Amino acid sequence: MEFTFTKDELYHLIRGVETDKARMWDKTTDRRLTKLLNKLKGQSMKATIQFETGQVSYGKGKGLWTLTKEFTDHKHMDNFIAYICKSKNYLLDEVWYESYPFNEGDTYYTIEETMNYGEYKLLIDNQENPERYVVVESCWDDVSEELFDENPNRYMTWSRKKANEYAEKLNEGTIKIY
């Protein structure tokens, strides 16, 4: 069975309005077309991800596995990274985006440094317990794109929980930002 859609029908499909033709799709067709619809919506993103394998690569430094993959959105990429880390016991090394990681209007979270190391050390010496890193909630817009262009390696996630966990590890000193 072949489906052809008018411009208006595609518009309604993208907007999520159910039509008779849309109801007739089977699951296989739906999976294949989901990617196309996400591209039409502008939600598709391409990223290059590098993992540390933990295996010594003789003469080449640490063992790395790098791949480039297209994801439907940032959540899809995060789930893929979590799957690889869990199933292969690899560590995430770096992520490079070939497009912006979020769409306009998306809520995302970053980690901001509230003080430099000197100020932090002074507070610690005075028996205080400061939080050097805090989670900041933002909405993706033109300014976010400019900030991303300045520093594409900055930590960003769609999940407040993951951002809080990352900030906690930074504050405990179990991971460091260089």
Across the range 73-93, mean pLDDT stands at 88
The percentage of residues in the chain with a pLDDT greater than 70, rounded to a whole number, is: 71
pLDDT of residue 167 exceeding 80, the answer is: yes
pLDDT band of 59, cuts 50, 70, 90: low
Q: At what angle do helices 7-15 and 27-41 cross, to 10 degrees?
A: 90
Across the range 158-168, mean pLDDT stands at 88
Give the span between the Cα atoms of 145 and 137, in whole angstroms. 15
User: In b/e form, how buried is each residue of 83-104, taking b as 16+ CB within 10 angstroms?
Assistant: ebeeeeebeeeebebeebbbee
pLDDT band of 1, cuts 50, 70, 90: very low
Q: Which of 147, 31, 165, 169 is nearest to 100 (CA)?
A: 147
pLDDT of residue 83 exceeding 90, the answer is: yes
Are the C-beta atoms of residues 93 and 67 closer than 8 Å to each other? no
pLDDT of residue 116 exceeding 70, the answer is: yes
Give the span between the Cα atoms of 47 and 136, in whole angstroms. 23
- Report field, pTM of the whole predicted structure over 0.85: no
pLDDT of residue 138 exceeding 90, the answer is: yes
